[in-house]
Amino acid sequence: MKKFHYIHHACFILETENDAIIFDPFLDGNPSGVKPADIKVSHILVSHAHADHLGSAIEIAHKNKAMIISTAEIANMVSEKGCAAHGMHIGGSYLFPFGKVRITPAFHGAGIAGGHACGFIVDFYGTTIYFAGDTSLFSDMKLLGELEKIDYAILPIGDNYTMGPSDAVKAVELLKAKEVIPIHYNTWPVIAQDPEKFKKEVEQKTPAKVLIVKPGSSIELS
């Protein structure tokens, strides 16, 4: 059984009975109340170095002896802090024990000198998940949907710092994902959004189904 567990903001865990990986582990200051000590994972994927995404990655890596997967600049930085790390960059893919990771573009600040923000397409034990990271809408999302048959697209909808709901609807059209999970909204007033309105628009305009996952809850993945 594979699960998607949403912690809050852009932080979530993909898990099986025997393994788990976490994305953008923003816990210090996250409204969820989850602490680094609560997290048990084998790998940590970090899209960029802003505090609400890099978050507690270093502490979690030390506690779990987990590997951080990110762009080369972030991988080098966490390596200097004693973490196991695998550096990648946009356009690259690598096979990990849980499956293949492809690094994708994300149009956003890197949060680290010389770096780039990114997203990830992850084959997690046979299920293909696209985590867009913090990004604007960009036309090459269409190409990503052609390169990888995406089962679940995990997209920001908060606006202000990332694409908002209307642009995220267009992203769904380009990606041709089967199912969509909105994230990166309602953490603070500046990114307040109505996910039900987003769901209605996506399902009116595309064949995709939107899954609204409340913080602290999980859904089973196919």
Q: Note whether residue 92 is domain-resident.
A: yes
Question: Residues 105-135: pLDDT tens digits?
Answer: 999 999 999 999 999 999 999 999 999 999 9
pLDDT in tens, 10-27: 999 999 999 999 999 999
- Owning domain of residue 47: 2-213
The model's pLDDT over 165-193, given as tens digits with 9 standing for 90+, comes to: 999 999 999 999 999 999 999 999 999 99
Residue 130 Cα to chain centre, angstroms: 7
Report the pLDDT value the prediction gives residue 33, as an integer from 0 to 100: 86
Beta strand residue intervals within 24-145, DSSP E: 43-45, 67-71, 84-88, 93-96, 99-105, 118-124, 127-131
Residue 222 lies in a domain: no
DSSP state of 66: P
Cβ-contact 93, 69 below 8 angstroms: no
How far is Cα 170 from Cα 148, in angstroms, rounded to an integer? 18
Residue 218 domain-assigned (yes or no): no
What CATH number did the domain enclosing 70 receive? Answer: 3.60.15.10
Instruction: Report CA-CA distances (Å) from 149 to 54, 142, 145.
Output: 28, 11, 6
Residue 221 lies in a domain: no
Q: If pLDDT is split at 50, 70 and 90, which confidence band does 203 have? A: very high
Q: Is residue 107 part of a domain?
A: yes
Contact 187, 39 (CB under 8 A): no
CA distance 196 to 136: 21
Q: How many domains does the chain have?
A: 1
